[in-house]
């Protein structure tokens, strides 16, 4: 294992020398599960790709990977194959729509060995090398505030925290922010409030979270926007369709579109 880890560190050094590294890699996260990370990032990816941007979506939720299920697709080549040195990362993307490629994850099958940080470093330097082929690389992650998850997020260029408007979700968002900033210093955290009754409810939830982080953690968060609760979201997931493809004129799709404009630096 020590030899393998050494080799990984060497590979990282070589790979980070690449000058074409992508600079706008966004990863989604949440304190607790089920806030809508996978729904949001898939639909965000789809909408961006339909605007003509070349998008790569990577499912790095190794416990409960589900972008494949949401798309009703399977692939032999998952991120686990890459981590186990069986395939190259560039062999993994599957084109699911024009301009939209996905790298599928592994649900619970992947037992990462020791030296996880080195493995995450290697993974991200390899992902960045694919920056030539994409305008945007988006990363879905599992919920929770465990050390590996936080480290993984720290490797992205920006973090989008997906919360819901109820006070417990706002508190989870605060707990995430506190831990992440403590571990990795001052960073911009972008916030989406999902499953809201209306814009006002989402903005109030954001203000509550932002007031707490500003007061106690001396850090202001960036509000990306609100997404309403819509029964058709559940329906589209159940039917394994992309919501924004099927309901392109819905309020929720328009809200995701306006998040795309506010996320641009």
Ligand X SMILES: Nc1ncnc2c1ncn2[C@@H]1O[C@H](COP(=O)(O)OP(=O)(O)OP(=O)(O)O)[C@@H](O)[C@H]1O
Residue 237 binds to ligand X (criterion: CB under 6 A): yes
Q: Say how far apart CA 5 and CA 118 lie, in whole Å.
A: 7
d(CA 33, CA 163): 10
What would the two tokens of residue 120 be?
A: 């995450």
Task: Note whether 38 binds Mg ion by CB under 5 A.
Answer: yes
Q: How far is the CB of 142 from Mg ion (least distance, A)?
A: 7
Site string for ligand X, 38-57 (x = CB under 6 A): xx------------------
| CA–CA dist 262, 32 (Å, integer) | 25
- Asked if 195 is part of the footprint of ligand X (rule: CB under 6 A), the reply reads yes
Interaction between residue 197 and ligand X (CB under 6 A)? no
CA distances from 139 to 56, 170, 205 (A): 8, 22, 24
State yes or no: residue 134 binds ligand X (CB under 6 A).
Answer: no
Cβ-proximal residue to Mg ion, closest one: 38
In the complex with ligand X, which residue's Cβ is closer, 65 or 130?
Answer: 65
Stretch that binds ligand X, among 31-39, 75-83, 88-96, 125-133 (CB under 6 A): 31-39
Q: Is 258 in the site for ligand X (CB under 6 A)?
A: no
Cβ neighbours, 10 Å, residue 94:
15
Q: ∠ CA 157-84-68 to the nearest 5 degrees? A: 65
Shortest reach from residue 162's CB to ligand X, in Å: 6
Which letter, b or e, does each residue of 61-70 get, where b requires 16 or more Cβ atoms within 10 Å of its Cβ? bbeebbbbeb
Residues of the shown chain interacting with ligand X in the complex, contacts defined by CB under 6 A:
30, 33-39, 61, 64, 142-143, 194-195, 227, 229-230, 233-234, 237, 252
């Amino acid at each position: 294992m020590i030899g393998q880890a050494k080799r990984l560190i060497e590979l990282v050094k070589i790979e980070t020398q690449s000058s074409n590294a992508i600079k706008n890699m966004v990863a989604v996260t949440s304190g607790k599960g089920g806030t809508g990370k996978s729904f949001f990032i898939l639909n965000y990816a789809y909408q961006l790709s339909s605007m003509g941007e070349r998008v790569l979506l990577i499912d790095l939720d190794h416990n409960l990977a589900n972008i494949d299920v949401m798309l009703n697709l399977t692939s032999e080549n998952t991120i686990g194959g890459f981590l186990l040195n069986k395939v190259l990362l560039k062999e993994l993307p599957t084109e699911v729509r024009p301009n939209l490629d996905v790298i599928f994850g592994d649900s619970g099958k992947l037992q990462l060995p020791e030296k996880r940080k080195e493995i995450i470093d290697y993974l991200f330097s390899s992902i960045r090398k694919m920056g030539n082929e994409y305008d945007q690389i988006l990363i879905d992650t599992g919920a929770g505030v465990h050390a590996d998850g936080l480290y993984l997020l720290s490797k992205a260029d920006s973090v989008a925290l997906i919360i819901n408007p109820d006070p417990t979700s706002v508190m989870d968002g605060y707990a995430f922010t506190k831990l992440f900033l403590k571990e990795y210093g001052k960073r911009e955290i972008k916030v989406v409030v999902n499953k809201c009754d209306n814009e006002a409810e989402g903005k109030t939830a954001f203000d509550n979270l932002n007031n707490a982080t500003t007061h106690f953690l001396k850090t202001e968060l960036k509000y990306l926007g609100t997404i309403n609760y819509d029964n058709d979201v559940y329906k589209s997931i159940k039917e394994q369709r992309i919501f924004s493809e099927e309901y392109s004129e819905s309020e929720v799709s328009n809200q995701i579109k306006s998040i795309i404009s506010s996320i641009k630096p």
